[in-house]
A and B are shown apart, each in its own frame.
Chain A
Amino acid sequence: MRIIILIKQVPATDKVKMDEETGTMKREEVESVINPLDLYAIEAGLQVRERIKEDIEIVVISMGPPKAKEAIKEAISMGCDKGYLLSDKTFAGADTWATSFTLSTFIKKLGEFSIIFTGERATDGETGQVGPSLSAQLDLPILTYVSKIKEIGKDYIIVEREIEEGTEVVFSSLPCVISVIKAISEPRLPTLAGKLRAREREIPIITLKDLGVSERDVGLLGSPTRVVKIFYPKLSREGIKIKEKNPERAVDIIIKFLEERGIL
């Protein structure tokens, strides 16, 4: 059995500087880390292996610049077995469509697997689209917002997923794609032994040539999305400050204020 975990390397801070001219992130200025929500996907994969007690290979796949190797090594230090980095100049500037196309092309080449785990979304792009798009391109079922794995068998899985009205219990055949949320389980810390193992491990780089697809289908060229404009949202708050010292009169003013706006 094989489990695939998709991860992304993201800027370490939420205060990413945007280039307002080109509409892209200034990535080079900040330190990069593994997307924090992907840590839950890794934890989910490791827990499935511990639960089934079978020989399961856990493979981590990421797409990004060469330094995204660090994120894969972090995943290996937590307990994953091996990793591949999809990295090629032609992959740059990919939107969620081109990204999931590139990933799914590689996954098809990789061979059989049972589950693909992803995080809920990446903290930089915040789209949460790659998992579902990938499942469509692989023609597999997708279970999103999964908070618990209730049961897992040779060819089926039963999970709980969080929806607005509450919790939904879903049965799915395997293989499938699962995106997990934080409730799944607190990610473990890497161990020293894991770090040393990751240090030794070679991470193969997969390029456009390896995938055997056209340059036009990947990266910016393969992306139907165009960023037209990028701007910081402006928060505006309208309020009044009540200076009335008498509490009863102050309350009257608040009630009047709320009534006038149809809130009360």
Chain B
Amino acid sequence: MFKKVEERIIDQLINICGENDVLTNDEDLERYSHDESSRFYAHLPEVVVRPESTQEVSKILKLANENLIPVTPRGAGSGLAGGAIPLYGGIVLSFEKMNQILEIDKVNLTATSEPGVVTNDLCRKVAEEELFYPGYPMSVETSFIGGNVATNAGGSKVIKYGNTGHHILGLEVVLPSGEIINIGGKRRKDSSGYNLLNLFIGSEGTLGVFTKIIVNLIPLPPYTVDLLVPFPTIESAIYTVPKIISESKVLPCAIEFVDRGSYHLSSIYSKERWEYQDRAEAFLIIQFDGNNKNQLEEAYIRAGEVSLKEKALEVFVAENPFASEKLWRIRRNYLEAIKAIDPYVILGDAVVPISLIPEMLRRIREIGERYKVEIYNVAHAGDGNIHSAPIKPKGLSPEEWYPIQEKILDEISIAAVELGGAVSGEHGIGFLKKKILHLSKNKQILIMKELKRAFDPNGIMNPGKIFNS
């Protein structure tokens, strides 16, 4: 079906992007062969191109489409579902050089960005204007805004602000034919026909690629307060979450759950001793933000008092940036900390209604016991998204471990679907969760396939991802 990338195609790519941005050496290609899921699934592309403009992207896709060459779009490579792995070789279309913030519009409260901008850089830039981009993923320090849109990334602030998709107003999209279309724009409303914008958000590069992204901005909330709350049991921590939401009278912008094992690993990784690391089974990190300092103070006092009533061991309050940074390091370092002890780890991404988090965690523990495997969990408790990390038992080789790990993660996904959840909350399907997508979206996959054929009749866009076409 797909054709190989021949010498003449390379020459044409060089004509489009210039010699420096067409990579063919194996050592150059290696780093485009995997993402932050496991290297176990790495696959080399035949060529990497690094376009610098929409026109170049258009010419590359047209060329690939006419010659039936698969194209795998790539952002920062920080994905956790294998979405950026070029399963069929072909072309990797890397957006690393399209990294300009084109405009910050203070009247319409939008920013227009190229896809290769690191999301944190965008956040920092708009913060200089006292503005805030609320679609704030956990991987904010590395991931690109383009990848965030492609996976409809979430993050820790979804409970108050929603995920990436809620803050995308417009996209410039290049279709496989090379055609450039503009969807949405700076307008805040649009009831004119089908909502194609939401079709492209989370499409993981299977329909087309984004070359410009218009995001929503809001005024930067000047005050934040963070709480770190250790609990004696997992249940007491989780049962407190809905009470905090209902009784604080101010919606927290984040409620993160960290279990004892994850907390401990993260503290070792940071070479710090953290409060209650030997005495608590679970921790909540709660953040409030807002414009009114007194209102925030009332909110965190109420949240703290509710927690203490529900058997919290202590309530720590971080009101200055140093304390807050220390506290968030616990959560942000988690993935790196786990990778330091198990480089083969793959994170689950199941999501359930928040009321069912305790049941979901119970089932995860039961799965772990059945396989005799330690499973660490962190969760965006405010939105029901649980990241489970089954840890490779000592003595198993990676080859022996992968099939077991896959089974465990599949069972966790199945449990989530049974509880009315979904197999992926924010990382996307990529190809790692393709097999189990039909569990949560069986009939919809047929419609998705029809839609893909309409945009990408030759099936060159990120083949092998989300579903088998």
Q: Enumerate chain A interface residues (CB-CB to B < 8 A).
A: 12, 31, 33-34, 36, 39, 74, 77, 186, 188-196
Contact = CB atoms under 8 A, between A and B. Distances in A.
25 contacts: A33-B320, A33-B321, A33-B322, A36-B322, A186-B273, A189-B228, A189-B275, A189-B316, A189-B317, A189-B318, A189-B323, A190-B316, A190-B317, A190-B323, A191-B314, A191-B316, A191-B317, A192-B227, A192-B300, A192-B304, A192-B308, A192-B314, A192-B316, A192-B317, A194-B317
Interface string B304-331: 1100100000111111111100110000
Contacts of B308: 192
B445 interface: no
Contacts of B228: 189
Contact of A74 (B304, B314, B316, B320): B320
Given A31-B222, A190-B323, 20 more contacts: A12-B320, A33-B322, A34-B320, A36-B322, A74-B319, A186-B273, A189-B275, A189-B317, A189-B326, A190-B316, A190-B317, A190-B319, A191-B317, A192-B308, A192-B314, A193-B315, A194-B317, A195-B301, A195-B317, A196-B301
Nearest to B312: A192
Contact of A186 (B272, B301, B305, B314): B272
Interface in B212-257: 222, 227-228
Contact of A189 (B305, B321, B327): B327
Nearest to B128: A15
Contacts of A186: 272-273
Nearest to A199: B297
Nearest to A33: B320
Contact of B301 (A34, A74, A190, A192): A192
A31 B130 CA distance: 13
B299 to A, nearest CB: 12
B270 to A, nearest CB: 10
B240 to A, nearest CB: 14
Given A186-B273, A189-B316, A191-B314, A12 B304 contact: no
B218 to A, nearest CB: 19
Interface of B: 222, 227-228, 272-273, 275, 300-301, 304-305, 308, 314-323, 326-327
Nearest to A32: B320
Q: Which of B222, B316, B320 has the most CB of A within 10 A?
A: B320
A188 B272 CA distance: 12
A192 B320 CA distance: 14
A74 B297 CA distance: 13
Contacts of B320: 12, 33-34, 36, 74
Contacts of A39: 322
Contacts of A77: 317
A77 B319 CA distance: 11
A93 B275 CA distance: 40
A191 B315 contact: yes
A199 to B, nearest CB: 8
Nearest to B272: A186
A195 to B, nearest CB: 5
Contacts of B321: 12, 33
B142 to A, nearest CB: 23
In order of increasing CB-CB distance, the 8 nearest A-B pairs are A192-B315, A189-B316, A192-B304, A33-B320, A36-B322, A190-B317, A195-B317, A189-B323
Contacts of A34: 320
A190 B228 CA distance: 10
Contacts of A196: 301
B315 to A, nearest CB: 4
Contacts of A36: 320, 322
Contacts of A33: 320-322
A123 B35 CA distance: 40
A19 to B, nearest CB: 20
Contacts of A194: 317
Q: Which of A33, A189, A191 has the most CB of B within 10 A?
A: A189
A192 B319 CA distance: 11
Q: Which of B222, B304, B317, B326 has the most CB of A within 10 A?
A: B317
Contacts of B273: 186
B264 to A, nearest CB: 16
A13 B227 CA distance: 22
Contacts of B301: 192, 195-196
Contacts of B326: 189
B326 to A, nearest CB: 8
Contacts of B227: 192
A116 B327 CA distance: 29
B416 to A, nearest CB: 34
A192 B318 CA distance: 10
A36 B318 CA distance: 13
A74 B320 CA distance: 9
A217 B445 CA distance: 80
Contacts of B272: 186
A39 B315 CA distance: 19
A194 B275 CA distance: 15
Nearest to A186: B272
Nearest to B273: A186
A31 B151 CA distance: 36
Contacts of B323: 189-190
A31 B322 CA distance: 13
Q: Which of A36, A191, A196 has the most CB of B within 10 A?
A: A191
A39 B322 CA distance: 10
Contacts of A193: 315
Q: Which of A33, A190, A192, A196 has the most CB of B within 10 A?
A: A192
A193 B304 CA distance: 9
Nearest to B225: A195
Contacts of A31: 222
A196 B318 CA distance: 14
A77 B323 CA distance: 13
B250 to A, nearest CB: 16
Contacts of B305: 192
Nearest to B323: A189
Q: Which of A12, A34, A39, A190 has the most CB of B within 10 A?
A: A190
Nearest to B315: A192
Nearest to A13: B321
A68 B131 CA distance: 27
A172 B304 CA distance: 43
